[in-house]
A and B are shown apart, each in its own frame.
Chain A
Amino acid sequence: MEFKSITQLKTLLDENKISIKEIAETYIKRINEKKELNIFVYFNEDIIHYQAKEIEKLPNDKTLKGIPIAVKDLFCTKSMPTTAGSKILENFKPTYESFVTQKLINQGSMFVGKTNLDEFAMGSATNTSYFGNTINPLSKNDNPLAPGGSSGGSAAAVAADLCLGATGTDTGGSIRQPASFCGVVGIKPTYGLCSRWGIAAFASSLDQAGIFSKNVKDASILLQEIAGYDQRDSTSSNVQVPSFYKNLNPSLDGKVVGIPKEYTVDGISDEINGVWEEAIKSLEKKGAKIKYVSLPHTKYALPTYYIIAPAEASSNLARYDGVKYGFRASDAKSLDDMYELTRSEGFGKEVKRRILIGTYVLSAGYYDAYYLKAQKVRKLIANDFVETFSDCDLILTPTAPSAAFPLNEKQDDPIKMYLNDVFTVPASLAGIPGISIPYGKDKQGLPLGIQLLSKHYNEQEIFNAAFALEKDYE
């Protein structure tokens, strides 16, 4: 049986055409068949069977009853170990459940496994994981492609039909870019909409949980479930979460969509610009008003991000010291020895690079020149959006500067890799919501994504427009 979406599976369940046990068996089989893609860091058939039995007992009105969900291995989970893609968290078994995964459990979802990711979410290709590369399921045999990152495992899991939805986190594009690479829907909501409690931190002022799904409807259902105020996260927003799914409305009449000229970047393929053009035309046809706008500080977003995120990371990752949990190097003669050996053996190259950059930009004598400067530019970038949204409802841009690239490309040059996030990072810095939906394909048949942005807490507007655009390719 084919499962196309959450809404479809819910109907099958409601009509008793399939049992939860059968769902579990189907997905276990699928995952076993796709092992070579290295999508899961943790997969355990027994735990899935156990969940299926427990879920059977739940009342039928649970929104996600029996829905197979994959969880990025940055979310702490009680039933499965949590690694953050790092050796330093080897064998770490959380005694607690993250806010987001707990909400999914409460609604009856079935976790099929923990997905691979860039180590501590630092990367754009899911190639910095201690557990190896994940391969984009859309790859042709002779040319393995990257799934994007850092939530590459989750995007790939949805694309390969190994689940119907997956959690991700997005710090600078880690949901939207892999969604684009794998041809699925990925939404990063407003900073603070989903609690960060129980998600291993990368950059606290930017980290935000979000969703991968097969279509916009499913994304609206899932985001609805994981959003909400959490008093254990001081940056969590105490706002009423709208019924995204119920309110879904593809009408774009009178909506003003901004097209920022700064997102026309050198070296971007005509195909991407072509898809962007096409989407603009489609929006116009659907009744939206197109407005060409300027976000003048766009080009400074990446360097700003690559100061702020490493700075916060250098401090957030100080807790991985071999004392309380995870890996500890053996044969240390002193405490400092133990720290240094543990951390140099436990962290991979990219993580070390970012920790060192972050340590440097915060150190005495450099703080003002780098960190404080970046915080000020961040303010200007955020202001650009505030001004634009004073007379626009949405902004439309490409999601990524390229389609999925071959594995191991760009590995030698960190800046080249960082440029992957050129279209996604500005929204992260501004804390605004953004979605990537697949919109057309390139010559090789690889999916391309477009990104819709809106102002804080305006996810509904984004869902509505994405829902409308999605129909172009149904």
Chain B
Amino acid sequence: MSNLVKGKKYQWETVIGLEIHAQVKSNSKLFSNSSTVFGSKPNSQVSLVDAAMPGMLPVINKYCIEQAVKTGIGLKAKINNYSVFDRKNYFYADLPQGYQISQYKYPIVGEGKVTIDFKDGSSKDIRIVRLHLEQDAGKSLHDQNPTKTYVDLNRSGVALMEIVSEPDIRSADEAGLYISKIRSILMYLDTCDGNMQEGSLRADVNISVRKPGDDYGTRCEIKNLNSIKFIKQAINYEVKRQIETLEEGGVIDQNTLLFNTSNGKTRPMRSKEEAHDYRYFPDPDLLPLEINQKDIDKLKISIPELPDDRKKRYVKDYSLSNYDASVLTADKSVSDYFDTVIKSDKSLQDSSKIVVNWITSELFSLLKDNNIEIYDSPVSPNHLGKLVNLIKANVISGKIAKDVLLEMFNSKEDPEIIIQKKGLKQVTDTSEIEIIVDEVLLNNKKMVEEYLSGKDKLLGFFIGQSMKKSKGKANPKILNDILKNKLSKKN
């Protein structure tokens, strides 16, 4: 697949690397015991440590370390037995210590990889450089007061995992697939809640362009994007801007950019000041973090089935296509639902494709219309399995099944009970259908004549009329056969 972008003069290749900041799912912060709950009153979840009071010291959260190790395992990465916490020094209003505790030379997790899947069934590995633990900063609010910036330290000190990719990404779409995949892995592992709206997952995107075969071009970094849509928009805008600049004979300045979500453009950060010099050095308030292999092995055992493994299982056991399987496994709760449906009745294993369709089309649209998450679905996996089996056994038609599903959705009832109550059972008795067909043909003599004189299209009309008379319950195939048979006899 070619990812080259056409400029006015040349073809260009886009080179993208992502730094994803994923908030560790934990009750308390990385180095203090204040709560991490989102959306609380300003400065209500701030400990003396988070506010950098004199003499306050960091103590690391064991659970956050485990979450980082688990994530590393999920990224098929090397877990480092020895890692070091460094101070990254810079001044900003929402950075109370005047430094961020991060990991620089010795991160907790080393090289790994993530596989992304394309529609055409192919896939690609994106290499991970590292994952390290660090503290989040607080939040600056610039528009609450005409002359002041307000600072809320509730987020200050929350644990983040920074996941850095190699510049292996070649398009906005690939970037979207990559971040979706990372999100999916994190949510399977339950190490991050993946909530991009609340900022639990955000990304800095490094972008450059080059002519194929050339060295890397000068890159720009777009900071702090918190939706896949914006990431794609920002990349597309920035790629176009860089190509236009270069084709007009300009040069790209290495710059930190902000993406304006209302006009879809990037612009350099205004507070550029002097080049940063973070003066990293090992935090003398902390000691090196040593993790022994036994603890890593213990965590390995606790790792659940991850999207890639699940995808492979679906391809192998249920003959789903690679792409279908990757779409299905992207969201753990969807995939869990699917698994429960299939496991509810052995016979469904051969109908996996039908199950997928019923989940991803009919059930999804009902859930979406009613703003319900799949794990709260009123239609239980068990009931959905039953419904599919009823369709397969010709008890109801696919069309009736849609009505039944709606009823299941509204009443949470078993499909069999609904069908019985409402008398929706499909008519497969040929004599009953023959009576209906005869009646229809008798009532539409003129049409029958027209049909016989060559107007084949009228067959649909007869089917429609007969179906209507059966209140939709006639088995479509039997109805079709009988109609054709009867009409041919009239000839």
Residue ranges of A at the interface with B (Cβ–Cβ < 8 Å): 75-76, 82, 84, 89, 92, 94-96, 98, 196-201, 203-205, 231-235, 311-312, 314-315, 317-319, 321, 323-325, 335-336, 339, 359, 362-364, 367, 371
B91, B281, B286 pick with most chain A CB within 10 angstroms:
B281
B281 with A311: CB separation less than 8 A: yes
Within 51-90 of B, Cβ neighbours of A (below 8 Å) are at: 51-60, 87, 89
B48 with A315: CB separation less than 8 A: no
Question: Considering the chains assembled together, what is the distance between the CA atoms of A388 and B92 in angstroms?
Answer: 47
Question: Considering the chains assembled together, what is the distance between the CA atoms of A315 and B1 in angstroms?
Answer: 50
CB within 8 A of B54: which of A92, A314, A362, A367? A92
What would be 12 A-B contacts, judged by CB atoms less than 8 Å apart?
A76-B53, A196-B55, A197-B57, A199-B55, A204-B283, A234-B286, A315-B98, A315-B281, A319-B97, A324-B51, A324-B52, A362-B281
CB within 8 A of B279: which of A84, A94, A359? A359
- State how many angstroms separate the Cβ of B223 from the closest Cβ of chain A: 18
Cβ of B337 within 8 Å of any chain A Cβ, yes or no, is no
CB within 8 A of B284: which of A95, A203, A321? A203
- State how many angstroms separate the Cβ of B288 from the closest Cβ of chain A: 11
B273 with A367: CB separation less than 8 A: no
Q: Which residues of A contact B89 (CB under 8 A)?
A: 314-315, 318, 362
Cβ of B151 within 8 Å of any chain A Cβ, yes or no, is yes
Q: Which residues of A contact B48 (CB under 8 A)?
A: 95-96
B285 with A234: CB separation less than 8 A: yes
Instruction: Kindly list 19 other residue pairs between chains A and B, CB separation below 8 angstroms, not including A235-B284, A362-B89.
Output: A76-B53, A84-B54, A96-B48, A201-B55, A204-B283, A204-B284, A204-B285, A234-B59, A235-B287, A318-B97, A323-B93, A324-B51, A324-B96, A335-B93, A336-B91, A339-B91, A364-B277, A367-B281, A371-B281
Question: Considering the chains assembled together, what is the distance between the CA atoms of A225 and B287 in angstroms?
Answer: 26
Instruction: Given A95-B48, A204-B285, A363-B279, verify A318-B55 contact (CB < 8 Å).
Output: no
Chain B, Cβ-Cβ closest to A365: B277
Cβ of B462 within 8 Å of any chain A Cβ, yes or no, is no
Q: Which residues of B contact A335 (CB under 8 A)?
A: 92-93, 149
Question: Considering the chains assembled together, what is the distance between the CA atoms of A82 and B56 in angstroms?
Answer: 14
A96 with B53: CB separation less than 8 A: yes
Question: Considering the chains assembled together, what is the distance between the CA atoms of A198 and B277 in angstroms?
Answer: 29
B53 with A94: CB separation less than 8 A: yes
B54 with A318: CB separation less than 8 A: no
Chain B, Cβ-Cβ closest to A200: B54
Q: Which residues of A contact B281 (CB under 8 A)?
A: 311, 315, 362, 367, 371
Q: Which residues of A contact B284 (CB under 8 A)?
A: 203-205, 235, 312
- State how many angstroms separate the Cβ of B105 from the closest Cβ of chain A: 11
Question: Considering the chains assembled together, what is the distance between the CA atoms of A313 and B419 in angstroms?
Answer: 77
Instruction: Given A204-B285, A318-B97, A323-B96, verify A234-B54 contact (CB < 8 Å).
Output: no
Cβ of B314 within 8 Å of any chain A Cβ, yes or no, is no
B53 with A318: CB separation less than 8 A: no
Question: Considering the chains assembled together, what is the distance between the CA atoms of A66 and B47 in angstroms?
Answer: 33
Instruction: Given A203-B284, A363-B277, A367-B281, verify A319-B55 contact (CB < 8 Å).
Output: no
Chain B, Cβ-Cβ closest to A196: B57
B286 with A318: CB separation less than 8 A: no
Interface residues on B, range: 20 to 34
A321 with B53: CB separation less than 8 A: no
Question: Considering the chains assembled together, what is the distance between the CA atoms of A75 and B54 in angstroms?
Answer: 9
Chain B, Cβ-Cβ closest to A372: B281
B53, B96, B99 pick with most chain A CB within 10 angstroms:
B53
CB within 8 A of B151: which of A76, A201, A323? A323
- State how many angstroms separate the Cβ of A311 from the closest Cβ of chain B: 7
B54 with A76: CB separation less than 8 A: yes
A362 with B279: CB separation less than 8 A: yes
Q: Which residues of B contact A367 (CB under 8 A)?
A: 279, 281
- State how many angstroms separate the Cβ of A66 from the closest Cβ of chain B: 27
Chain A, Cβ-Cβ closest to B94: A323
Question: Considering the chains assembled together, what is the distance between the CA atoms of A318 and B93 in angstroms?
Answer: 12
Q: Which residues of A contact B60 (CB under 8 A)?
A: 234
Question: Considering the chains assembled together, what is the distance between the CA atoms of A269 and B58 in angstroms?
Answer: 45
Q: Which residues of B contact A201 (CB under 8 A)?
A: 54-55, 285
Q: Which residues of A contact B96 (CB under 8 A)?
A: 319, 323-324
- State how many angstroms separate the Cβ of A256 from the closest Cβ of chain B: 32
Q: Which residues of B contact A323 (CB under 8 A)?
A: 93, 96, 151
Question: Considering the chains assembled together, what is the distance between the CA atoms of A149 and B277 in angstroms?
Answer: 33
Against A, the Cβ 8 Å flags (1 = close, 0 = not) of B125-147 are 00000000000000000000000
Question: Considering the chains assembled together, what is the distance between the CA atoms of A323 and B53 in angstroms?
Answer: 11
- State how many angstroms separate the Cβ of A100 from the closest Cβ of chain B: 10
Q: Which residues of A contact B277 (CB under 8 A)?
A: 363-364
A315 with B99: CB separation less than 8 A: yes
- State how many angstroms separate the Cβ of A261 from the closest Cβ of chain B: 31
Question: Considering the chains assembled together, what is the distance between the CA atoms of A315 and B102 in angstroms?
Answer: 14
- State how many angstroms separate the Cβ of B387 from the closest Cβ of chain A: 56
B54 with A82: CB separation less than 8 A: yes
Q: Which residues of B contact A359 (CB under 8 A)?
A: 279
Q: Which residues of A contact B57 (CB under 8 A)?
A: 196-197, 232-234
Q: Which residues of A contact B52 (CB under 8 A)?
A: 319, 324
- State how many angstroms separate the Cβ of B206 from the closest Cβ of chain A: 20
Q: Which residues of B contact A232 (CB under 8 A)?
A: 57, 59
Chain A, Cβ-Cβ closest to B59: A234
B87 with A315: CB separation less than 8 A: yes
Q: Which residues of B contact A233 (CB under 8 A)?
A: 57, 59
Q: Which residues of B contact A371 (CB under 8 A)?
A: 281
Question: Considering the chains assembled together, what is the distance between the CA atoms of A363 and B280 in angstroms?
Answer: 8
Instruction: Given A234-B60, A367-B281, verify A321-B91 contact (CB < 8 Å).
Output: yes
Question: Considering the chains assembled together, what is the distance between the CA atoms of A96 and B286 in angstroms?
Answer: 22
Against A, the Cβ 8 Å flags (1 = close, 0 = not) of B311-335 are 0000000000000000000000000
A234 with B287: CB separation less than 8 A: yes
Question: Considering the chains assembled together, what is the distance between the CA atoms of A95 and B48 in angstroms?
Answer: 9
Instruction: Given A234-B285, A335-B93, A367-B281, verify A200-B55 contact (CB < 8 Å).
Output: yes
Q: Which residues of A contact B56 (CB under 8 A)?
A: 197-198
Q: Which residues of B contact A312 (CB under 8 A)?
A: 284
Question: Considering the chains assembled together, what is the distance between the CA atoms of A315 and B48 in angstroms?
Answer: 18
Question: Considering the chains assembled together, what is the distance between the CA atoms of A76 and B97 in angstroms?
Answer: 17
- State how many angstroms separate the Cβ of B172 from the closest Cβ of chain A: 33
- State how many angstroms separate the Cβ of B152 from the closest Cβ of chain A: 12
Question: Considering the chains assembled together, what is the distance between the CA atoms of A359 and B53 in angstroms?
Answer: 21
B98 with A321: CB separation less than 8 A: yes
Question: Considering the chains assembled together, what is the distance between the CA atoms of A288 and B330 in angstroms?
Answer: 75
- State how many angstroms separate the Cβ of A430 from the closest Cβ of chain B: 15
Question: Considering the chains assembled together, what is the distance between the CA atoms of A233 and B59 in angstroms?
Answer: 7
B59 with A231: CB separation less than 8 A: yes
B51, B52, B59, B285 pick with most chain A CB within 10 angstroms:
B285
Q: Which residues of B contact A325 (CB under 8 A)?
A: 53-54
Within 250-284 of B, Cβ neighbours of A (below 8 Å) are at: 273, 277, 279-281, 283-284
